[in-house]
Amino acid sequence: MSLIAWCMAQAQLTPQFRLAFEREGGHPPLKRCATRRFKKTDNVVLYSEIYEPLLKSENPPRVGAGYQVFDKTTNKQVLSTGAMPMEAFIQKGNPVIPFGLKLPLKDLQPGAYRLVLQAVDDANNFTPLRQTDFVLSD
């Protein structure tokens, strides 16, 4: 199992935005960010893809993914999603799980942050940690 692609993107989100977003032409309705500087009012989504070859087996595993956000100054964790189930994103017969998770920027104070992403399956296989930095302003 591995994370094969990921990026932070801005999206036009409505209050009814759901994680299982509709896909148009095989791509999520997201615009890749040219920078990792955001305002608290920006709608930012972490888009990633998990490669899990066991999804093609007769008894596919359950897969989850989540992220943690750390304050870069103090290295203190300020946000954690825990492992979120990926069932809504799985496409039968496809070993790749594309998914998007919204970043609740309004809950964070302005500053510099590090986001750490990881996926896991029910056989306790973990992907390597993937991380990126971003800056938040008012």
Say how far apart CA 45 and CA 86 lie, in whole Å: 16
CATH code of 55's domain: 2.60.40.2550
Domain of residue 123 covers 2-137
Report which of 108, 110, 86, 109 is spatially closest to residue 97, judged by C-alpha positions.
Answer: 86
* Partner residues linked to 6 by β-bridges: 48
pLDDT in tens, 66-80: 999 999 999 999 999
Number of domains in the chain: 1
- The pTM for the full model equals 0.80
Q: What is the pLDDT of residue 7?
A: 64
Alpha helical stretches, state H, 59-129: none
Closest CA to 75 of 44, 36, 104, 116: 116
- pLDDT above 70 for 12: no
Q: How many Cβ atoms from other residues are within 10 Å of residue 67's Cβ?
A: 22
